[in-house]
Amino acid sequence: MQMEIFQIVGLGLIAAVLAVLLKQHRPEIALQVSVVTGLIIIMLIMFKLASVLEALQGMAQRINVDTVYISTIFKIVGIAYIAEFGSQVCRDAGETSIASKIELAGKVIIMVLAVPILMALLDLIISIVP
């Protein structure tokens, strides 16, 4: 497990050096190197994340938590990661304005997804308070 981080960091450093060298003469290829490297790293960690999600779902079933809430939380985390990745790619391309819009869109979507959880929490609080 710990050795995988060395592989990921090594891949990232090699890609970063390659992107910096290419940026001088072929900036479009440098951006492609950056995006492809990011996608490879995401795919490498997706397998690890899948096992964590399975463990959390099993735990939620054991303590009898509604799976709708757990799946919503997983969606929120996924949206946050995807929005961050997209905004960083845009920043790498020099498009900070678009990156900011992607981050805003991610926050709004997260807020929309969180409303049912917040409503259930408020209902619980109201039922507890006399």
pLDDT in tens, the chain (130 residues): 578 888 889 999 999 999 889 988 888 898 899 889 988 998 888 878 888 878 888 887 888 877 788 888 889 988 999 999 999 988 988 889 999 999 999 999 999 999 988 898 898 889 888 7
Q: Burial code of 33-46, b = ≥16 C-beta within 10 A, e = fewer?
A: bbbebbeebeeeee
Q: With CA atoms as reference, report the closest residue to 113 among 79, 66, 64, 67.
A: 79
Question: Cα–Cα distance between 9 and 57 in angstroms, integer?
Answer: 30
Q: In the chain, at which residue ranges do the beta strands (DSSP E only) sit?
A: none
List own/partner pairs for 11-18 with CB under 8 A and 24 or more apart: 11/37, 11/40, 11/41, 12/37, 12/41
Question: Cα–Cα distance between 101 and 85 in angstroms, integer?
Answer: 13
pTM over 0.75: no
